[in-house]
Amino acid sequence: CLPWVHHGEDCQVLSIQSHVICGYMGNQAVTLPLHVLGFKIDVVNSVQFLNHTGYSHWNGQVLNSDELHELYDGLELNNMNKYNYVLTGYMKDKFFLAMVVDTRKELKQQNSRLLVMCVPVMGDKWNREVSIYLPEDLLLVYREKVMPVADIITPNKFEVELLSVMDVLHLMGLDTVVITSLDLLSPRGINYLIMPGSQMTQTPDGTVMMQSILMEMCKVDTVSIGTGDLFTAVLLAWMHKQLNSLKVACENTVSAMHHVLQQTIKCAKAKAVEGLKPSPKDIQNPEIIIQTIVL
C-alpha cells in the first residue's frame, strides 16, 4: 500500500513518455505543472515526433531499449538515479516498455519507497469510433509486466476495458486506480462525465482499507490533446501533497484541469489579449469547483 512519506522533502520525478515538437502532450504537458507545484523533474523522451499521431502526417524518432539502458547507465555512473517517482506515458516499442520495467527495478534498489505512476496510453473512443495509439503487442507487456509493478494507474474508459476492471487491477498489485473519465449517464444528465477512483491504504496496525470515490464533472466544449498527461502529472503532485487523501487530491486535480481548460478556451477565443492569459495559481491553488463523493 502507498507509503506517502515524502511530504515536505524535495521530490524528484523521472518522466518517461513522448515528446512532440508542435503541441503540448507527454513530457511537454507534464513538465510545467510539476515545476509549478515544486517538483524536480527529469525527462526521457520515449519518442520524438513532429506532432501527435492524430494528424494526417507525423514522423520522428523512437527511442529503443538499448538507448534507454545507455541513458540510465549514465545516471547511475553520475549517482543521479535517486528518484521518488517514475511517471510513464506513451510508449511505441515493446522492448523499450520492458526496459522501463527493468529500470524501475534498479531505481527501487536506490529508493525502496519509489512509486510508479502509469498512464497506459493505448487508445480512446470518440463518437463510437475507436482509435488505437500503440501496437497490439504492447498490450500484453502492459498486462503482464507493467501492471504488477505500478503503484498508481490513470486509464481512460477505453484503456481500462483493454486492461481489466478496477477490482482486478487492485488484485494485480495496483494501490491506486483513477479512471480519468467515463461517458456514462450521470444523475446530472448527459452533459456530465463520471470519474471513479479507488485506493488501498494501510493503517499503522496493518489493516488494509479501501477508499472509493466518485466525481461528476461538467463536460468542456472542446477536444484537447495531452489532457490525460496533464491530469496524471497534477494528480501525482497533489497525491504527494495530500498524503493518503485520494478525495482531496482528485478534487484539486480536477479543479485545476477545469480552470486550465477554461482559461485555454478563453485565450484561444480572445487570441490571448491582456488580462486573459493563464495563471500558475490555477494549478498551484485551484478554486475547488467540483466535490468528490466518498463511496
Mapping DSSP onto H, E and C, the string for 31-94 reads: HHHHHHCCCEEEEEEEEEECCCCCCCCCCEEECCHHHHHHHHHHHHHCCCCCCCEEEECCCCCH
Any domain includes 128: yes
Any domain includes 236: yes
Any domain includes 201: yes
Which domain does 285 fall in, by range?
12-294
pLDDT tens for 30-63 read 999 999 999 999 999 999 999 887 788 889 999 9
CATH of the domain at 70: 3.40.1190.20
Instruction: Point out which residues pair with 207 in neighbouring strands.
Output: none
- Residue 98 is given by DSSP the state H
Any domain includes 51: yes
Q: What is the grid cell recorded at 34?
A: 510539476
Any domain includes 5: no
Q: What is the grid cell recorded at 87?
A: 511517471
The pLDDT, as a whole number, for residue 174 is: 81
The pLDDT, as a whole number, for residue 289 is: 81
Euclidean distance between CA atoms 101 and 137, whole angstroms: 16
Identify the active-site residue in 93, 175, 229, 282. Answer: 229
Any domain includes 159: yes
pLDDT bucket at 8, cuts 50 / 70 / 90: very low
pLDDT bucket at 1, cuts 50 / 70 / 90: very low
Average pLDDT over residues 13-35: 92
Any domain includes 103: yes
Question: What's the predicted TM-score (pTM) here?
Answer: 0.77
221 catalytic? Reply is no
Q: What is the grid cell recorded at 265?
A: 478556451
Any domain includes 95: yes
pLDDT tens for 227-276 read 888 898 999 999 898 776 889 999 999 999 888 888 888 877 776 555 55
pLDDT bucket at 131, cuts 50 / 70 / 90: low
Work out how many domains the chain is built from and give that number: 1
